[in-house]
Amino acid sequence: MKKYLITGCAGFIGSNFVYYMLRRHQDILMVNLDKLTYAGNLENLKDAEGDPRHTFVQGDICDRPLVEKLFSQYDFDYVINFAAESHVDRSISNPGLFVQTNVQGTVNLLQCAKEAWLRDGVWAEEKKFVQVSTDEVYGSLGDEGYFTETTPLCPHSPYSASKASADLFVMAFHDTYGMPVNITRCSNNYGPYQFPEKLIPLMINNVKHHKPLPVYGDGMNVRDWLYVEDHCKAIDLVAQGGRPGQVYNVGGHNERPNIFIVKTIIAQLHDRLQDDAINETLIHYVADRLGHDRRYGIDPAKIRQELGWYPETPFEQGIVKTIDWYLCHETWMDHVTSGDYQKYYEAMYKNR
């Protein structure tokens, strides 16, 4: 049986990963270490409750004694590190927290994995550390071209700077100690369980409640959108078959300007809810995000050629599935949009 330490899997992508792995693999054990920050939500894992292949542990990836204890208890074959502070706007107001979790937390996991897997100068066989990173580490593109795995790192936000630093440490553990590692760099994900500070669930929730739709700048910033399940498939493939020491970019050639996404959500919800108050007058352009990257676009040729990965969900299908999910999970949305989130939302948008 393969044993996984998966971190941050009460969050958006991680919880989808748990379900993906439970559907795909019978003989596994996943220990899910998550601090349950504002972004972590045990409700995301409800459908995995009682499944002996998944165990939840509340804790911090920076907590060395705890991570060491988990390694000695479970003798993991894989570490897949999703845990992170993940929201660019929050990194602009509190960069230190991003260094702590995204950089120090990753280094702590690397050290614990090394301690467990490197004995008398020899690495245990069939082990892998997978760092879930982002295309934002490459910076911003002009109108043309794509990020490849050899594009130089050029992060602009404190979030992407912290993710790029973590990536460099992961590679340093490979180059210095020979640790079997991979890094995945994915474009923007969308799908179920995403915290509604991120564009798509934020807009769905606001449209439904006839609230203004805050769009940064001119709305023409382009992101390369990938349905979350396609990302989960890529991480699983990389963990199983990625060549040690390699980076794999993950993206589906689904580039859309933000304003296109917003207008799509308005049109879909207008038709679905038969509600004429849902229209483009809800759009409210607000002052742009500081250092806002203009365009991201991924070249996924390497993961396609080496591991046979391709995205299965075209954007037109994925966005309909996503809207359906949020419409059918009103209680989930009500719970996450109370408390801390409300205060944060007000602080972000009240003066814009």
For ligand NAD, the binding residues (CB under 6 A) are: 7-8, 10-14, 33-37, 39-40, 60-62, 82-86, 101, 105, 132, 134, 163, 186, 188-189, 195
CA-to-CA distance for 163 and 151, rounded, in angstroms?
15
**Of the residues 159, 227, 248, 326, which is catalytic?**
159
Q: Tell the smallest beta-carbon distance from residue 159 to ligand NAD (Å).
A: 8
**Of the residues 34, 60, 85, 135, which is catalytic?**
135
Q: Tell the smallest beta-carbon distance from residue 189 to ligand NAD (Å).
A: 4
**DSSP notation for 50-97:** T-TTEEEEE--TT-HHHHHHHHHHH--SEEEE------HHHHHH-HHH
Size of the chain, expressed as the number of residues it contains? 352
Q: Tell the smallest beta-carbon distance from residue 72 to ligand NAD (Å).
A: 19
Q: Tell the smallest beta-carbon distance from residue 206 to ligand NAD (Å).
A: 19
**Of the residues 34, 85, 136, 224, which is catalytic?**
136
68 a catalytic residue: no
Are 140 and 295 in contact by the 8 Å Cβ rule? The answer is yes
The token pair at 324 is: 């359906």
Please, which residue, 278 or 298, has the CB nearer to ligand NAD?
Answer: 298
- What is the maximal distance between C-alpha atoms in the chain? 70
Please, which residue, 39 or 204, has the CB nearer to ligand NAD?
Answer: 39
Residues pairing with 57 in the sheet: 33
Provide CB contacts within 8 A for 282, sequence distance 6+.
206, 207, 210, 211, 212, 213, 266
Please, which residue, 210 or 343, has the CB nearer to ligand NAD?
Answer: 343
- Residue among 36, 27, 132 at smallest CA distance from 77: 27
Q: Tell the smallest beta-carbon distance from residue 204 to ligand NAD (Å).
A: 16
Please, which residue, 139 or 278, has the CB nearer to ligand NAD?
Answer: 139
229 a catalytic residue: no
CA-to-CA distance for 42 and 113, rounded, in angstroms?
26
In this chain, which residue has its C-beta nearest to ligand NAD? Answer: 11
* 8-state DSSP, 163: H
**DSSP notation for 237-280:** HHHHHPPTTEEEEE--S-EEEHHHHHHHHHHHHHHHHT-TT-SG
Please, which residue, 11 or 214, has the CB nearer to ligand NAD?
Answer: 11
125 a catalytic residue: no
Active site residues: 135-136, 159
